[in-house]
């Protein structure tokens, strides 16, 4: 006999009584565990639908002694590079019985410990962290409690999957030098540990070429902050003829600031971004950019996370991808 609908939510015990099986078997069915026949699974799922039972995977994880969920920390979903990382992680997990729990930080205001803490509180088995702003020591401390895979940034002492920013920045700046530009500026992000390699390489190359580096830093990692910093840079008396931006989002901020001042890209200003986002490839944008293979980084990071869950004592992973410069119509020879 079917139970009458009750005011309280249906439970696994209600489903078990409906089907005539144990509550443990119902739990196994919803977790996809072995030992439940296809016929019994179908009966359990049909009874659950009739009773209005909804499986709470998060609660199940909290009740379980094993932690198999994968937490994913992203700095800012408005930046397409992080959605590409997310897509890559998803590609690595579809056949695995691992839930993916997402937490997104604030891009304004610096370090946001709450975003990572929420994943720890959810009792995930491992955290994939894209572009953490925390100091290396803090990341290593966190990894003592919950293993961390750092993606897009190398952190000594934890699993890391990252682009060779030295090679990427070098390709970007040398491209502008080859076009004859000598007044090349760099729009950098805030100086967080692990996020200054592109700026450092830019300075090294400029000095090696006998040129003076000209670096300005945005107040945060938003396009709006980049636009404000670029407006001041481009309005100066010694306006650069080319800008290498920390990422594509910053490059778009530079582009908007240039057009607001009546400057054209690339006629008056050559512009190089970093990430090779989908926006960079749009007709009318055509941004020259460094492709760091964000989807592949996410896919590798997802695989590393699964390996760490399966073998906590395995050697640390250190996976570095070499970026490539994609030349489009935002750069041109100096006129």
CA separation for the pair 159, 312 (Å, rounded): 11
Confidence of residue 66 (pLDDT cuts 50, 70, 90): low
**What's the pTM value of the predicted model, to 2 decimals?**
0.80
Q: Which of 153, 142, 149 is nearest to 118 (CA)?
A: 142
| pLDDT, tens digit, 9 for 90 and up, residues 81-129 | 999 999 999 999 987 778 899 999 875 656 677 788 888 888 899 999 9
| pLDDT, tens digit, 9 for 90 and up, residues 209-221 | 999 999 999 999 9
Confidence of residue 248 (pLDDT cuts 50, 70, 90): very high
Q: Which of 2, 127, 25, 121 is nearest to 74 (CA)?
A: 127
| pLDDT, tens digit, 9 for 90 and up, residues 295-316 | 999 999 999 999 999 999 999 9
| pLDDT, tens digit, 9 for 90 and up, residues 102-115 | 999 875 656 677 78
Which two three-digit tokens encode residue 77? 């979903």
Which two three-digit tokens encode residue 326? 């994609």
Write down the number of H helices and E strands in the chain.
Answer: 12, 12
């Amino acid at each position: 006999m079917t139970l009458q609908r009750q005011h309280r939510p249906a439970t696994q015990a209600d489903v078990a009584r409906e089907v005539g099986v144990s509550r443990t078997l119902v739990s196994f069915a919803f977790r996809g565990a072995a030992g439940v026949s296809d016929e019994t699974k179908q009966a359990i799922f049909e009874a659950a639908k009739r009773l209005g039972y909804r499986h709470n995977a998060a609660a199940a994880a909290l009740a379980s002694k094993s932690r198999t969920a994968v937490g994913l920390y992203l700095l800012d979903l408005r930046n397409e590079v992080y959605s590409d990382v997310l897509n890559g992680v998803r590609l690595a997990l579809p056949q695995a019985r691992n839930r993916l729990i997402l937490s997104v930080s604030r891009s304004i205001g610096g370090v946001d410990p709450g975003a990572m803490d929420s994943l720890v509180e959810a009792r995930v088995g491992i955290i994939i962290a894209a572009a953490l702003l925390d100091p290396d020591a803090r990341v290593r401390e966190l990894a003592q409690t919950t293993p961390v895979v750092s993606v897009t940034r190398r952190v000594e002492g934890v699993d890391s999957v990252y682009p060779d920013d030295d090679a990427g920045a070098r390709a970007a700046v040398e491209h502008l030098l080859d076009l004859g530009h000598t007044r090349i500026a760099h729009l950098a992000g805030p100086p967080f540990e692990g996020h200054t390699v592109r700026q450092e390489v830019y300075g090294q190359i400029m000095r090696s070429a006998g040129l003076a580096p000209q670096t300005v830093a945005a107040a945060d990692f938003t396009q709006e902050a980049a636009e404000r910093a670029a407006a001041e840079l481009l309005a100066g008396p010694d306006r650069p003829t080319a800008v290498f931006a920390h990422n594509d989002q910053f490059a778009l901020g530079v582009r908007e600031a240039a057009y607001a001042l009546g400057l054209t890209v690339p006629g008056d200003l050559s512009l190089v971004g970093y990430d090779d986002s989908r926006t960079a490839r749009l007709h009318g944008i055509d941004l020259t950019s460094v492709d760091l293979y964000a989807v592949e980084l996410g896919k590798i990071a997802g695989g590393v996370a699964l390996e760490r869950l399966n073998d906590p004592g395995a050697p640390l992973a250190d996976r570095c991808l070499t970026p490539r410069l994609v030349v489009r119509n935002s750069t041109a020879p100096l006129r």
